[in-house]
Structure 1
Amino acid sequence: MKPSKFLLLLCTALLFSLNTFSKVTLPAIISSGMVLQQQSNVALWGKAKAGSKVTITTSWNQKAYLATTAKDGSWKLSVPTPKAGGPYTITFNDGEKLVLNDILIGEVWLCSGQSNMEMPVKGFGNQPITNSNELLSDADEPGVRLFRIEKNMSRTPLTELNAKWEHSNSETTGQFSAVGYQFARMLQQKLKVPVGIIQSAYGGTIIEAWMDKKSFAGFTDVKIPADTVKMIKNEPFVLFNAMINPIVGFNIKGALWYQGENNWFTPDTYDKKMEAMVKEWRSIWGCGDFSFYYVQLAPNAYPNGKDKLPVIYEKQAKAMQLIPNSGMAVSVDAGSQTTIHPPDKTIISKRLLYWALNKTYGKKGVAYSGPVYQSLKISDNKAIVSFSEIPIGLTAYNKPLISFEIAGADQVFHPAAATISGKTVVVQSDEVKSPVAVRYAFKDRAEGNLYNAEGLPAAPFRTDSW
């Protein structure tokens, strides 16, 4: 027998042997230590020998479920989960048992975006996180589980991940998203149920990289490079393929999104892209219109920005009307003039949490939105601005209001004095005798300090469309 023919037969035999005796294999997201969404039908999937039967037994109800593998060995089914609790086990059996241990039932959230979401509790080089050591010293919490996806990119959809579920402690938490971890920890404390938080974030990236290929229908400003060109992280859909696709289908209650810094110079279609991304994520995830809460960018001295940041402010605010079951956490008072990575991530996590507590978990007494611009009235040389979302009024905490500007018909804006009067803000300037328009914190570097009495900030706004 010729050597080449012998090798071919040997490889065929080995492949047949591996297929015959292949064991149940599971994706990284389905493993010991995971948190499954409570009171839902959660998806489980994996691979086994082609044409075989896989029995899945869940310890919380001692019921067995049967899956039949496809020709490629893949299988998928869903199982019902009870109220929060655990730890439990899940046993997979195709003739050989595979047991997952230490499984909790509770609430599951995804946190995604670019560097402000990626920024870990321990901070970046020379860029700290406020109270990081205190957070780390208090991180031993068995009811919080972390799943951090390593940064990766691909032009084709992947199913494998280099990641694992981990217990929250000072070491694992130090590496994890400061926004995501604090949201999960506070949610666990408020609801008193286990919380699993999944991190999929990559610094310096654009929204287009996180969108599925199907999401680009109708957009004319997206260029997809040829496969012969070296791949970069800001190509369309390469991060979705590598860092989102492998977990699609794993039941989540909601998603947190902190991104936009790399889209500030091309903001025109940002709101529509957010809408398209979320719509497609929800469609392929298959667990309904899960909650989607996101962070409006903070003021910053962008290089050669020329005040383009306010345009993305508006697009982010508009996205809330385009995306059902969504909410925006405002950070106009929580930025930094020296870094694009503001250190106070606690306040951001809290504001995301307020949206979740009220809108997702029904705690109606918890405020979630700051003042929202509603209307403008001109009275002599004064502009009177009215707001919604101010049930018991406005405040600047005994400090003068800042970052208000006013303009007349010449469309030239001047710094203005602004005072709270009941449930309105009165704006005026000696430079403008007949005001027409008002802007608030509508520049790249402009911070804001207008709040409702519940302590939540107003987002930057303008009354004009110039």
Structure 2
Amino acid sequence: MCSKKLIFLSLTVLLLVTFNLFSQVTLPKILGHNMVLQQLKEVPVWGTASPGEKIAVAFAGQSKTTVADSSGKWSVKLSPMKASFTPRQMTIKGTNTILLKNILVGEVWLCSGQSNMEYAMRKYSKFQSAVKGNRPPEDDLNTANNPNIRIFLDRRKYMDPSPEHLGWDSAIGRPLVDFSAVGYYFAKDLYAKLHVPIGMIAAAVPGSRIEPWIQASKMEIAPKMKNGKTLDKLSADGGDPGKFYDSMIQPLIPFKLKGILWYQGESNCFLNENIRYAYKLKTLIESWRTDWKDKKLPFYFVQIAPYNYSAAKDVRQHTTENLPEFWEAQALALHLKNTSMVAITDLVDSIADLHPGYKWEVGRRLSLVAANKAYGQKNVVCSGPAYQKIKIVHHTIEITFSNVGSGLASRDKRPLTWFSIAGVDGKFVPAKAEIEGYKIIVSAPEVPHPLSVRFGWNEAAQSNFISKEGLPAIPFRSDNPWDKLF
């Protein structure tokens, strides 16, 4: 009898504790001290409480109230605010009261992907050993001291709500050590351009394919191409669909963002993917935009670097053209609105290194895109030359480019490299390439009647062809079979 009473008492205490925990107002991990809220947009604030509990949120002179629904969920939207360097407090009051401190208003970006996006600032020594380009003038890992750049490191096992409301930090000292180098340098350069607080959220997992970043239900589509052919359902490729979406992306929604940065693809390239990856990237972009209820949400991504995939000893045989085909697939996403791509073919010291160390330059180039595309600074040149069209003139091919900046150039003043042409037989041979104004003229004695041209069509290609602003030309082939499928 005593044992039954003891069990009953224990269960009663457990139920009371559980009810008390549920009745407390709770916030998702992304809402916490030191965060940055997106300026000039409605800002969602949300969480859980007891069903029917009245919730009041106060911030920057605003007061919003709501009532938790039958499942205990609640949300309010703060009216758009201007950027502010003034640290302010947010009060969320229900049965209990939560006070969040040191909050700024500015620009918020999410950076995601695999290891090259995750590549942390603690690897700064590798930056210092880089031999190309201009290294950062100072050791940011030890000298960074801008409290107006805030960072949130999304760790997949630690995204549950916590009573401490910690997660955001200033990009100073120890918190910066584990943060994405690309994300930090993007924020640093963007801050210099905009002079408003910058908030960066990093959600990246080394070695991850694209599938885990897409909600599993969105992978059950069979892409239909414009030529009428239907591909197998995307989920047929495996890759743990939704694994990181569920644990790292969904907990961030609907935290208001200005845009998204994406640096991923190596794991899918090892699988020799091309057009299927293009549709997966399209699915990710469109589904994330749907999740954030923003069809125009900027999405800027990095074209992966040259690497010796053909030397990989795995179950698939690779050729030197698998990577260029993947580059081509990545570039197809540019047919979606409000997307842009950063080329980094010049930022590699060795094609045996899957993780080149020039992360400060990758971040800077992404900031150029943001400045031009997202913030309307049209005087900022943000991309290298991109293939537009060809014209066959006698025994030569005349190539026209977009994004030429102030002109075309050779990085080392030597003849342009990695151009090839072919005639009706489809056999490509190295070609002479000359700059004539804003065009490139290519020819080869072996091909008197050229039909097609390729540039950088090799996994090792690190051409000297750039814009006068120093940005590399994007690899292409004029005989692209997948052009404009979206």
Residues of 1 paired with 2:386 and 2:183: CA distance?
26
Alpha-carbon distance in structure 2 between the residues aligned to 1:127 and 1:5: 66
Amino acid at match of 2:153: R
Pair 1:37 & 2:52 matched: no
| 1:236 equivalenced with 2:241 (yes/no) | yes
**Retained in 1: the 8 A contact 2:286–2:295?**
no
- The range that moved more, 77-86 or 99-108, is 77-86
- 1:331-377 deviation digits (Å, cap 9, x = unpaired): 12223413011111122112211111111111111122221212222
- 1:325 aligned residue (338, 346, 350): 338
Q: 1:119 to 1:357 in 2, by over 3 A?
A: same
Once the two structures are superposed, the pairs formed by residues 25-424 of structure 1 within 5 Å of their partners are: 25-58=26-59, 60-61=60-61, 63-85=62-84, 86-123=86-123, 130=130, 131=135, 134-152=139-157, 160=161, 164-219=167-222, 220-223=233-236, 234-264=239-269, 265-302=272-309, 303=312, 304-306=317-319, 307-321=321-335, 323-335=336-348, 336-390=350-404, 392-397=406-411, 398-424=413-439
Tell me how far apart the structure 2 counterparts of residues 94 and 160 of structure 1 sit (CA, whole Å).
16
User: Offset of 1:217 from its aligned partner?
Assistant: 3.3
Q: Report the secondary structure of 2:440's partner residue.
A: strand
Q: Closer, same or farther in 2 for the Cα pair 1:19/1:287, shift >3 Å? A: farther
Q: Kindly tell me: are residues 70 and 403 of structure 1, through their superposed partners in 2, closer, same or farther at Cα, counting changes over 3 Å? A: same
Distance in structure 1 (CA, Å) of the matches to 2:47 and 2:167: 16
Question: Percent of pairs identical after alignment?
Answer: 35
Q: CA deviation at 1:17?
A: 5.2
Matched, 1:448 2:463: yes
Query: Distance in 1 between the 2:89 and 2:100 partners?
Result: 5
Indicate the residue corresponding to 1:434 in structure 2. 449
Query: Which amino acid counterpart does residue 290 of structure 1 have in structure 2?
Result: L
How far has the Cα of 1:20 moved from its partner?
4.6
Query: Are the equivalent residues in 1 in contact too, given 2:453–2:479 (CA < 8 A)?
Result: yes
CA-to-aligned-CA distance 1:130-157 (integer Å, 9 cap, x gap): 557622233111000010112459xxxx
* Structure-1-length-normalised TM-score: 0.90
Maintained 8 Å contact 1:26/1:45: yes
Structure 2, gaps ≥5 residues long: 223-232, 482-486
- Cα offset, 1:440, TM superposition: 0.4
Q: Displacement, 1:71?
A: 3.4
Q: Is the 8 A contact 1:127 1:341 kept in 2?
A: no
Structure 1, unpaired ranges of 5+:
226-233
Partner of 1:122, secondary structure, is: helix
| Length-normalised TM-score, structure 2 | 0.87
- AA of the residue aligned to 2:278: D
Cα deviation, residue 164, structure 1: 0.7
Instruction: Single out whichever of 365-374 and 382-391 deviates more from structure 2.
Output: 382-391
Aligned residues of 1:251 and 1:287 also touching (Cα < 8 A): no
How far did residue 52 of structure 1 move? 1.6
- For the Cα contact (< 8 Å) 2:299–2:340, is it kept in 1? yes
Rounded Cα–Cα distance in structure 2 between residues aligned with 1:113 and 1:90: 31
Displacement, 1:89? 0.4
Give the aligned residue type for 2:364: K
Distance 2:242 2:294 in 1: 22
Runs of 4+ in 1 over 4 A off after TM superposition: 124-133, 158-163
Distance 1:427 1:451 in 2: 16
Distance 2:112 2:325 in 1: 22
Answer whether contact 2:26 2:161 (CA < 8 A) is retained.
no
Shift of 1:390: 2.2
**Number of residue equivalences:** 451
Alpha-carbon shift at residue 287 of structure 1 (Å): 4.3
Q: Which amino acid aligns with 1:244?
A: I
Is this contact kept in 2: 1:152–1:239, CA < 8 A? no
Q: Is the 8 A contact 1:52 1:94 kept in 2?
A: yes
Amino acid at match of 1:277: L
